[in-house]
Structure 1
Amino acid sequence: TIPYECIFSSRRDIFYEQESNKVKISQDEWLCKYCNKTFYSEHHLDLHLSTRHNDTLVQDEQSVCLADHCLIFRCDVLKQAKISIRSINPLARGPDIRFIKSNKISNEQQLTILRSRCASIINQCIPHTIHHDTRVKIQHEMYAEVCAYLTTNKYFELPDYCKPLISFTTVLGAALLIFICLVGIGITRRSDWKFDEDEDESDKHLSDETISSATALLSKTPASGIIHCSKSPVNTVRHRVRFQAEDQD
């Protein structure tokens, strides 16, 4: 369990009991478990808790409000990152980050103090009952994930788990690739259609030539209407023509 000295101990959190009695039923409905009343938003539920159930707050000398440690845990940066991930566009958080830089973090000296407090919190929150090597390993990992960002170069840098899986650049590149593919398909289909059209025109011309040849041949057909093969010997053709002419007489 988390030691009592740790600020994350539920026994020291001022709002732990109240937060435990808040239930989100739907996007527009919240329930107070103390009195079973429902509200349209979490904000109105919080107002209800502060006025009707204020006696449930943990108030003693060791009680802690986690919001007092937001500079250490960079709540402003991570909150803005969450909004930016919803919009996918990383440019959306530009103006807000500039505002944060000018009002929240002033110099390296302030960040040095925050890093020292961060290391102290980590040391308090790791149980002393675990093995020494394991404890040291956990300290290093937590320092790298939290305290190491408390520098002028990394304060506004997002940890890996907060970075969007799909960036604006990725979406733009995918859209461009799809557009190029569609253009290529359109050009290919147009080329195939043009090729088929040329083939149809060739077939049409060939048919016209065939019809002309047939017309010329028919104009030389004998009166009997019989067309003799041009490969037959000349005498045979003449004989057949004379024979047919005699039949007509």
Structure 2
Amino acid sequence: MTAAKTIDINCDLGESFGPWRMGDDDALLAVVSSANIACGFHAGDPDIMQRTVALAVAHGVAIGAHVSLPDLQGFGRREMAVTAAEAYALTLYQVGALHAFARAAGARLRHVKPHGALYNMAARDHTLAAAIARAVRDFDPSLWLFGLAGSALLDAGREAGLQVASEAFADRGYREDGSLQPRREPGALITENDLAIAQAMAMAREGKVRAVDGSIVELQADTLCVHGDGPHAVAFARNLRAALLAADIVVAAPGADA
């Protein structure tokens, strides 16, 4: 009997700050299997981190550190010139901060995922990617590293001896080389629910996505990212999970049985 296919649904959470609120984290945590929790550099603060970890524990969702460049005003989406040593230190700093909250809640970290500009930079810059991977390994070699499918970050993670999860995006446009279309370009965000669900299912079942130029790109999808900051985020996450389950695809975090 063929084993059922398993895929993870991850979401960027804990992105509120002080009295300002972003997204419905509680509702999303009832749907997703992995939570990438902001660590204070692009979003979040100590109170939000503690609250989001507690919610993730209550929902049985895998906890991950969503590490970023130090760019609170720009939400971590502006590229910065950082050295490999700086990337190592900022990754270790943020992972350590979230680990403290997880440990206090009787839980543990399961993965690390860079955010925004740092994610895209590490996808193409092997030196930067290697620094991030080393920081994750030096903190805890059992942690999974999430990165863009086919990217330098996943290569660096494997070279560092980490378990890696190839990430695909349901609601983002892809270029013909497998990179994400920049947000500033038309078509970078797929806003139609049915189109995003169809793209996600093609990636989950067939390992393929249609690029913006019409070509077909092959990619591995171990984890599907849904963004938690849109007005229809919860409904979309629910629809995606339902579509996966209807296709006999199990939704679970990487290494959930470990």
Interval of TM-score (by shorter of Structure 1 and Structure 2): under 0.3
Which has the higher Rg, Structure 1 or Structure 2?
A: 1
Instruction: Flag the structure with higher helix content.
Output: 1
State the TM-score, normalizing by the size of structure 1.
0.26
The structure showing larger relative contact order (alpha-carbon pairs under 8 Å, at least 6 residues apart) is 2
Instruction: Flag the structure with higher strand content.
Output: 2
